[in-house]
């Protein structure tokens, strides 16, 4: 399985450190599950809606560059659960999915 890693932070705290911590968790998750990393997207933006780099990763995933998007947890997608559901549903229509390192999104069937 090939995936894009997606990390997002808001404006609070140390964004570089926070992004690095997310990347380390996701890279470890991929290593433990035999997952190949096809690309990485990181951004600093509000979690009110989906970030532009997440949208880009989703578009690239749906064109076949990867099978899924990996996030540390669902809060890195958006603080709005409706946005998380819409993103997951959109990917599911193309046979793609979002995996979270905490396992929460993996258990949800959005198809």
pLDDT at 107 over 50: no
Of 7-11, 17-21, 51-55, 105-109, the one with minimum mean pLDDT is: 105-109
Q: What is the mean pLDDT of the chain?
A: 87
Residue 34 has a pLDDT of 95
pLDDT in tens, 22-33: 999 999 999 999
**Stretch 86-110: mean pLDDT, rounded?**
81
In the three-class reduction of DSSP (H, G, I as helix; E, B as strand; rest coil), residue 42 is classed as strand
Q: 102-106: long-range contacts at Cβ-Cβ below 8 A with a sequence spacing of 24 or more?
A: 102/72, 102/73, 104/73, 104/74, 105/71, 105/74
Tell me the torsion sign for CA atoms 90, 92, 94, 96.
Answer: positive
Whole-structure pTM value: 0.88
- Residue 48, token pair as written in the block: 């009110």
């Amino acid at each position: 399985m090939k995936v894009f890693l997606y990390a997002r932070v808001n404006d609070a705290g140390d964004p570089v450190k926070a992004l690095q911590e997310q990347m380390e968790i996701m890279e470890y998750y991929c290593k433990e599950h035999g997952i190949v990393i096809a690309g990485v997207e990181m951004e600093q933006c509000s979690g009110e809606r989906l970030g532009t780099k997440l949208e880009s990763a989703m578009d690239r995933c749906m064109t076949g560059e990867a099978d899924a998007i990996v996030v540390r947890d669902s809060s890195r997608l958006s603080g709005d659960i409706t946005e998380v559901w819409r993103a997951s549903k959109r990917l599911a229509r193309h046979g793609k999915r979002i995996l979270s390192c905490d396992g929460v999104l993996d258990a949800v069937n959005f198809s």
